[in-house]
Amino acid sequence: MRRRSAGPVGASVKDGRAAGEHREAASGAAHGDWLTRGKDGRLTLYVPTDGGLLRWTETAVGGPGWSGPHFVPVAGLTHLAVAQGANGYVHFLGRREREGADSTPGVDIVHAIQYQTGLAFSDWRSLGNPHRVPEEPGPLAVPVGAVARDGTVHVFVRGAHGGLMLRREAPNGKWKAWEDLGGGGAGAQPAALALTDGRIEVCVAAETGVLAWSQSKPGGDFTGPRGFSLRPVPGTVAALETGPGRATFFWTDAESGGAAAWRAGAWPVALGGTPAERPCAVLRTSLDGYDCVVLAYRDQDGTAVLGMGGTENEAAGFWWYALTESCQGAPALALDGRGRVVMALIGADGRPRVARQEDGDGLSLTRWDVLGG
């Protein structure tokens, strides 16, 4: 993938001053991997805010200190999604509303990259609109990204017709034209997953159940959609690689209201819990020598919940722990440079909070650190 020129990351925001009086509070949570670990082992946290996004970065591997917030201006940004590649590059996809040359409102998808922890972003580049006649702001859904093992960026968005649209990079670093992957009745926010075998898989809740697309080989065309008569709540699907080249999808079941795990070729397994209508944060790690899946979600009362169970052994039970912290949107999970589970969320006051795995058996978290200026 061709590297693009890097522009300034923006000003540091202190006490709500500077950078055009932008606040250090988030306007919600981003979609995707908004808590990432760089090649140097430090974590970075990204949140949308009025007029752009804010970034906090660990000052040392494993913390506990953080620098920031640093403000990155993106005029007209309405939604933010974050995806990280195996090379450590962090990709930002935004849905942007802006006024056209003839003063008519328009909407497009924008993309930028951060190549190294704490350094500048590339320039923001428009990826356009998949529709030949762009609609009024609103119909174009939120973009979702996945970065293949070779660094190729894939951008998925639900089209106005209810199917799935794709735009991806070519081997020379340029962007291919938008592709229509078909389907209909798809909900917002498909779950796209880059597998270690180089392929991409996508799953989305639809009016008729579940639609799934996959690549037969790395860089190849997408086959599908395959339809499955299942009932996830739209907008709640999340994806995690739980075996070599094998995806498990997690969602909120529309009938029970609880979390569920599903792999193609099997029936969903109920996990319990009471997640709100947002995707869970998903993570795979070793706990007490066992291969485990860790999930985090915002429940119906607005409180953060943490859960864990055996990888691809969901029927053996899943354990949930209600936390005392309330949150906006979905939480985020990552492993820090010392291999500890880290959970981040956006508090009711719009300020990020971070807790880490404590030493000892099991998975218990430290107190919450509030990130400020």
How does pLDDT run across 286-312, given as a tens digit for each residue?
999 999 999 999 999 999 999 999 999
Could you report the per-residue pLDDT of 115-146, keeping only the tens digit for each?
A: 999 999 999 999 998 886 655 444 678 899 99
What is the model's pLDDT at position 103?
64
**Assigned domain for 109 exists:** yes
As a whole number of angstroms, the longest Cα–Cα distance in the chain is: 62
What is the model's pLDDT at position 70?
95
What is the model's pLDDT at position 26?
86
What is the model's pLDDT at position 23?
56
Q: What is the arrangement of strands in the sheet containing 43-49, beginning at the earlier edge strand?
A: 35-37, 43-49, 52-58, 66-73
pTM of the model: 0.91
What is the model's pLDDT at position 25?
83
**Assigned domain for 169 exists:** no
Q: What is the arrangement of strands in the sheet containing 125-128, beginning at the earlier edge strand?
A: 31-32, 77-84, 90-99, 105-114, 125-128
**Assigned domain for 116 exists:** yes
**Assigned domain for 165 exists:** no
Number of domains in the chain: 1
What is the model's pLDDT at position 27?
85
Give the residue numbers spanning the domain of 110: 1-136
Q: What is the rounded distance in angstroms from the CA atom of residue 80 to the CA atom of residue 293?
A: 25
Give the HSE-up count for residue 117: Cα atoms under 13 Å, Cβ half-sphere.
Answer: 21
Contact 333, 372 (CB under 8 A): no
**Assigned domain for 93 exists:** yes
Instruction: Give me the residues of the chain with pLDDT under 70, please.
Output: 1-23, 100-104, 132-139, 373
Q: What is the rounded distance in angstroms from the CA atom of residue 346 to the CA atom of residue 352?
A: 4
**Assigned domain for 320 exists:** no
Give the phi and the psi of residue 316 in degrees, each rounded to 5: -75, -10
**Assigned domain for 175 exists:** no
What is the model's pLDDT at position 11?
39
**Assigned domain for 370 exists:** no
Nearest CA to 372 among 34, 15, 18, 61? 15
Beta bridge partners of 297: 305
Nearest CA to 191 among 205, 180, 208? 205
What is the model's pLDDT at position 198?
97
Residue 230: CB atoms within 10 Å: 18
What is the model's pLDDT at position 276?
87
What is the model's pLDDT at position 2?
37
